Amino acid sequence: MHDSAYIGGIELGGTKTVLAIGNCAGTILRRHTVPTRDPAAVIADACAFFNQSSLRIDALGVGAFGPVVVDPKAPDFGHLLDTNKPGWSGFNLMGALAQGIAAPARLVTDVGAAAIAEQRLGALRDVDIGVYLTIGTGIGGAIVSNGELLPALLHPEMGHIALHRLAHDRAPSTCAFHDDCAEGLVAGPAIMARFGASLDHFMPDSAEFALVADYLGQLCSNLVLTLSPQRIVLGGGVGLAPGLTSAVQQSMVRQLGVYGPRATAQTGYLCPPAWAQDAGVIGAMLCAAGAVSSTAAVRV
Ligand SMILES: [Zn+2]
């Protein structure tokens, strides 16, 4: 793709959808945010934004909430799977976009797009393999290696890894499917349900903070043991709570014990994202810019 091409990006989030037009370097030139409502309304907004702009896009990158079929070879590519978001279960997202926007498109998850942005331009830029973990309304994760997401059967669902419950913890899980998964124990809704307030209402030396750090430390230690990433980024509304990153790292190192590589104890092994905003839509644009000439690109 020539360097002067314009690239479209869509970050389809649970509460808002970010639409952007930028260049191959990931610089945003036009940007518009709409609330995520029913699929028809969001698709209409996206088509109007891209089709009425004076900047004609040559490719479109989409970072969508999951679960979503991201494998371009799958017969149901681009469809949302069962989700609690009204109207979105089974929706053919990429088919609907193709009807209204004439540009080759690539689909990744929202967290996958953010991970791409962090590896090409941000906190994971100097590592070969990194993990991006977002802890907010849910817990999601992505693995990037040398600038690309690892190929996957569906996409990682790190938030649903089972953890060891602390002996005194009797709080019910907020995950509809699991009693002891990370998302059900310490995603934003779980923290609200068990403490009656979000994590930033608690001091880093509080018991509430320690419980959250313990569980997230377990999650990160599992990721270290299975993927051996060179760095883990903690993002999302919960993940960015002041003091949480260092508390989770201490918990992770303690739980890894002798199996923890020395680097995992160094400052910055766990770190916040470099892109506090727009990582998803920038990553989506970068995916599209890099994919048009590759086998991962799909003309829709
Ligand atoms: Zn779960």
- Taking residues 124-138, report their average pLDDT: 95
Q: Judge if 58 and 77 occupy the same domain.
A: yes
Residue 2, pLDDT score: 65
CA gap 215, 72 in Å, rounded:
35
Indicate whether 57 belongs to any domain: yes
- The candidate with the shortest Cα–Cα distance to 151, out of 231, 63, 81, 73, is 73
Range of the domain at 97: 7-112+277-291
| Contact indicator for 247, 209 with CB cutoff of 8 Å | yes
Q: Note whether 56 and 131 are same-domain residues.
A: no
Considering the domain architecture, whether residues 166 and 281 belong to the same structural domain is answered as: no
Please report whether residue 206 resides in a domain: yes
Count how many domains the chain has: 2
Reply yes or no on whether the pLDDT at 292 is more than 70.
no
Give the distance (Å) from ligand 1 centre to CA of residue 60.
31
Q: What pLDDT, in 10s, does the model give residues 188-229?
A: 999 999 999 999 999 999 999 999 999 999 999 999 999 999
Round to whole Å and give the CA distance between 41 and 36: 8
63, 131: one domain: no
Q: Do residues 136 and 229 share a domain? A: yes
Q: Does residue 1 sit within a domain?
A: no
For residue 105, is it within any domain?
A: yes
**pLDDT for the residue 109:** 94
Cβ partners under 8 Å of residue 27, min gap 6: none
The yes-or-no verdict on residue 276 having pLDDT over 60 is yes
Cα–ligand 1 centroid distance for 173 (angstroms)? 8
* Residue 84: predicted pLDDT: 75
> Is there a domain that residue 74 lies in?
yes
Residue 127 sits in the same domain as residue 51: no
Hey, what are 220's tokens? Answer: 């990160």
Report the separation in Å between the CA atom of 252 and the middle of ligand 1, taken as the mean of its atom positions.
20
Flag whether pLDDT at 123 surpasses 90: yes
Give the pLDDT mean for 262-273.
96
**Does 154 or 106 have the greater pLDDT score?**
106
Distance between Cα 41 and ligand 1 center (Å): 30
For residue 50, the CA-to-ligand 1 centroid distance in Å is 36
Residue 66 sits in a domain whose CATH number is 3.30.420.40
Measure 184 CA to ligand 1 centroid, in angstroms. 6
Share of the chain above pLDDT 70, in %: 96
